Structure 1
Amino acid sequence: MIFLATFIPSSALALSLPSHQVVCKPQIDPAKPQYIVAYGSLMAKASRNSTISETQATPIWIDGFERGWFYRSSVYSHTAPMTYLGAIAQPNAHFNAILVRIGVSVKRGIENLDRRETNYCRQRVKRDRIKPWWGAVQLGEPDAQIWIYYVQKPQPPNVQYPIFQSYLDITLSGAIEIDPTSEFGQQFIQTTTYWSSFWVNDRPQPERAIETPIPRIQIDRILGTTAPTNRYILSRSKRRLSYF
């Protein structure tokens, strides 16, 4: 596995993070604009706003990274472990995402994100890895620092750590916010790896929730008409939570 940055311990974060996590969360320059690449639940505005303030959110392509269902964790789940989306450095890969500019206190914003993404690492992204999703959009100031949260040990879903529909619903609701035509959501599916039949429909008792309404009908239309999720959606609808 190849990572694209050398990590520098951050004394600024040492007081708020366990010592084993500080080394993979580099120090920021608070005098510079700070951006993050949001590629999972942070694509949803309500989910982002629960953690940070923002001044700009722009759809992008990011090159040199792979997004997939390969982060197993029970840290965020109230009752059941699950597999979350993660990113790894991969030279020939790319995916669509949202570039978010952190507002107000950038230092506090990054610290809040680091706590939220507690078992992920964070690394700088070179500006030439970021492309506009459409048009000739200006992507950040020349001196901006751009960050992505990545996974150190990717592990795909299994029966103990399935994909949960409620988490996917939040993520795809963010894709629909950006592009109501569903193209961005379809590309999210197509540029995400490790889709799996280990997929729980937990909508009746969602593990993850946000306050804004979830467009479930549009989400299911996207999932049912886009490969590879169209192969799994029927088995998802029959799956039960009882084996947890």
Structure 2
Amino acid sequence: MISRRRALLGLASFGLAAAPSLASGPAAARDFWGEAMPGQPTDFLFGYGTLISEPSRTATSGRRVSAVPARISSRFGLIRGFVARGHGGVGFTALGLRPPRAGEAASSINGVIFPVAGADEMAAFDRRESGYDRVELDPALVEPVGWQGLPRGGRVWIYQPRARRDAGEGSDVADADYPLVQSYVDVVLQGALAEGPAFARELIETSFDWSPFWLNDRPIPRRPWAETEDAGAIDRLLATVEPAASQFRNRLYPELYAARHLMAAQPAVPR
């Protein structure tokens, strides 16, 4: 029989080490707590309008971009409202951010945070939001609204409408030529409804500058469910949740909108 000593000597001759015995104690542990895996995103966007919608984000990024529902504190000091006019001949008014006006107080703003994969993708979002400036957001002003956590590192950016030098107070709210358009509102609220009815209700309650200049431009406006799956849920929210509800009755089909707002604005033709 080969003794234990001779067996160990034989292993040593082949350059092999015997496994430590249980009596020698456990191997030293490695603690990776707090270390980030390589390749993690370093830039994030906070979307508070159409960027809440996953299909809308994907159309820009070219890849599926998951997001975390979140909320900006009222300490941010701005209000979400319909104050961003389309550029390049696009005649509608979109959501943007503005300071509170006299008698108003800043409110919280719900939306989503999502990662941006590199400079090229960020440039694509910047081109999409060409009428806005991308500014850095203090992460201390942001809280999650679901069970998912927020990113622990990196920078968070948000888009604010680019200030016009000739713009006075209230000059960028909707008017006859730059109305609210239902197709835009649908994208925003479809994204919000994906986070739940309470999230969508909060979005309406914390969005301001709803306007009587409101065009129902859905592809099939008299049968909206045929093209817009959530049309019924969206309309119920808009009709019952303030401040949208006060203006919802002014939403008009294209021909009625033209008769009320556009034709009425034409100068009278002398007879």
TM bucket, shorter chain: 0.7 to 0.9
Number of matched residues?
Answer: 201
After superposition, the C-alpha distances for 1:85-136 in whole angstroms (9 at most, x for unaligned) are 112466943211111122xx4211110001000111001111101111135x
Distance 1:234 1:150 in 2: 29
CA positional deviation for 1:233: 1.5
Preserved CA contact (<8 Å) 1:62 1:96: yes
Q: In the alignment, is residue 165 of structure 1 matched against residue 182 of structure 2?
A: yes
Q: In the alignment, is residue 134 of structure 1 matched against residue 143 of structure 2?
A: no
Preserved CA contact (<8 Å) 1:68 1:193: yes
Distance 1:76 1:174 in 2: 26
Q: In the alignment, is residue 83 of structure 1 matched against residue 93 of structure 2?
A: yes
Change in CA separation of 1:205 and 1:76 when aligned onto 2, cut-off 3 Å = farther
TM-score by length of 2: 0.67
- 1:42 equivalent in structure 2: 51
Larger mean CA deviation between 81-90 and 219-228 belongs to 81-90
Gaps of 5+ in 2: 1-38, 164-169, 222-226, 264-271
Of the two structures, which has the highest relative contact order with CA contacts closer than 8 Å and spacing of 6 or more?
1
- 1:93 equivalent in structure 2: 107
Preserved CA contact (<8 Å) 2:131 2:162: no
- 2:194 equivalent in structure 1: 177
Distance 1:75 1:117 in 2: 12
Distance 1:238 1:114 in 2: 32
Preserved CA contact (<8 Å) 1:54 1:100: no
After superposition, the C-alpha distances for 1:170-228 in whole angstroms (9 at most, x for unaligned) are 1000001111xx1111110110111111111111468xxxxx95410110011111012
Preserved CA contact (<8 Å) 2:45 2:115: yes
Map 1:115-134 → 2, pairs under 5 A: 115-134=127-146
Change in CA separation of 1:133 and 1:89 when aligned onto 2, cut-off 3 Å = farther
SS of 2:194's partner is helix
Preserved CA contact (<8 Å) 1:96 1:188: yes
Distance 1:149 1:69 in 2: 14
Change in CA separation of 1:157 and 1:123 when aligned onto 2, cut-off 3 Å = same
Map 1:51-66 → 2, pairs under 5 A: 51-52=60-61, 53=63, 55-63=65-73, 64=76, 65-66=78-79
- 1:191 equivalent in structure 2: 206
- 1:152 equivalent in structure 2: 162
Bigger Rg, which one: 2
> Which of 103, 107, 122 in structure 1 is aligned with 2:119?
107
Q: Percent identity?
A: 27
SS of 1:56's partner is coil
SS of 1:232's partner is helix
Preserved CA contact (<8 Å) 1:88 1:152: no
Preserved CA contact (<8 Å) 1:96 1:187: yes
Distance 2:128 2:89 in 1: 9
- 1:3 equivalent in structure 2: none
Preserved CA contact (<8 Å) 2:80 2:98: yes
Preserved CA contact (<8 Å) 1:32 1:145: no
TM-score by length of 1: 0.74
> Which of 221, 235, 238 in structure 2 is aligned with 1:223?
238
Gaps of 5+ in 1: 1-29, 207-211
Higher helix share: 2
SS of 1:37's partner is strand
Question: Which 4+ runs in 1 deviate beyond 6 A?
Answer: none
Letter in 2 for 1:44: S
